[in-house]
Amino acid sequence: MTKTLSYYPGCSSQATGVHLDTSLKAVMSKVGITFREIDDWNCCGASVGHICSGHVPTLALSGRNLAAARAAGPEDVVTPCAACYLNTHHTNEEIRDKPEVKAEVNEALAEAGKSYDGSLHVRHICEVLVNDVRMDTLKSAVTNPLTGLKVAGWVGCQTVRPFAATERGGKWETYDDPSFLDDFTKACGAEAVPFKGKTKCCGGSVAVISPDKTLHLMKDILDEVKASGADVVSTPCPLCQTNLEMYQPAINQQFGTDFNIPVVFYSQLLAVAMGMDAKADAGLHQHLIPPDAVLSRAK
């Protein structure tokens, strides 16, 4: 298949989640998807926007991105970040379905000479992989199967909630027991280990502000990963990846544990399985905890 999508990378793609952005672009090029990055995109506000700015300013942030995407063409907007997806999809549906919201947002956008009519469709990139690309295409692109690699698929709490089972969300996954991440792992030729903590919360942005309030949440996840016998954790969420990797030393210090578990993105596993370069394409050099079990399988 060949398809062009309007791509909203989100702020993490420029910093802590750069390896998600790098590996995702490499993988999508292999399966016929072309990204057209939204010109001059801005932060969606994530969680902080709702706390500090209020309803309309937060909607206007995503509205500005959507206006820029629509000016470039009618293609669906996709994003790989859970928070970006929640904000952008929510804003799009509010503008689409509620004339009063559309009027408020466009009043704000008019100050910058922009407007948005609500005509686009905002999608999570994992939904595109499941519904459009499909697993058989991913499998057929694998030339370097990750045989013997044991992977704990940690979806996190936001990627599938609350839109994954809705009509406009693509009806691509369940909320409580999602399987897509395990399916990606299997497509790579690796083993998806049973992992009951797949939708547990790491604390999200609270971990960045007050890690002392969230370390126990991450410890619970890591305990279950360790019990599963996994070599690595795979996740689709950039904040989940950052938190679970970055805070392992602090967790070890507070709880007397000895965690040193690599946390990678599903797209990095796919890139390696598709025979691509471990650094230039998969970004495996950009980890605090080196994913040696993946690196040893890279070409």
DSSP 209-253: H-GGGTHHHHHHHHHHHHHHT-SEEEES-HHHHHHHHHTHHHHHH
The answer to whether residues 88 and 77 touch, using CB atoms and an 8 Å cutoff, is yes
pLDDT in tens, 127-164: 999 999 999 999 999 999 999 999 999 999 999 999 99
Phi, psi dihedral angles at 272 (to 5 degrees): -65, -45
In which band, very low, low, confident or very high, does the pLDDT at 274 lie, cut at 50, 70 and 90? very high
Angle among Cα 108, 114, 118 to the nearest 5 degrees reads 85
What pLDDT sits at residue 46?
80
pLDDT surpassing 90 at residue 246 = yes
d(CA 176, CA 179) in angstroms, rounded, equals 10
pTM of the model: 0.96
How many residues does the structure list for the chain?
299
Say if CB 7 and CB 33 are below 8 A apart: no
Sorting pLDDT into bands at 50, 70 and 90, what band is 57? Answer: confident
Domains identified in the chain and CATH numbers: 3-124 (1.20.1050.140), 143-295 (3.40.50.11810)
Q: At what angle do helices 82-97 and 238-246 cross, to 10 degrees?
A: 150
Distance CA(79)–CA(276), nearest Å, equals 22
Residue 130 is classified by DSSP as I
Distance in angstroms (rounded) separating the CA atoms of residues 33 and 28: 5
Question: Do residues 126 and 236 touch, judged by C-beta distance below 8 A?
Answer: yes
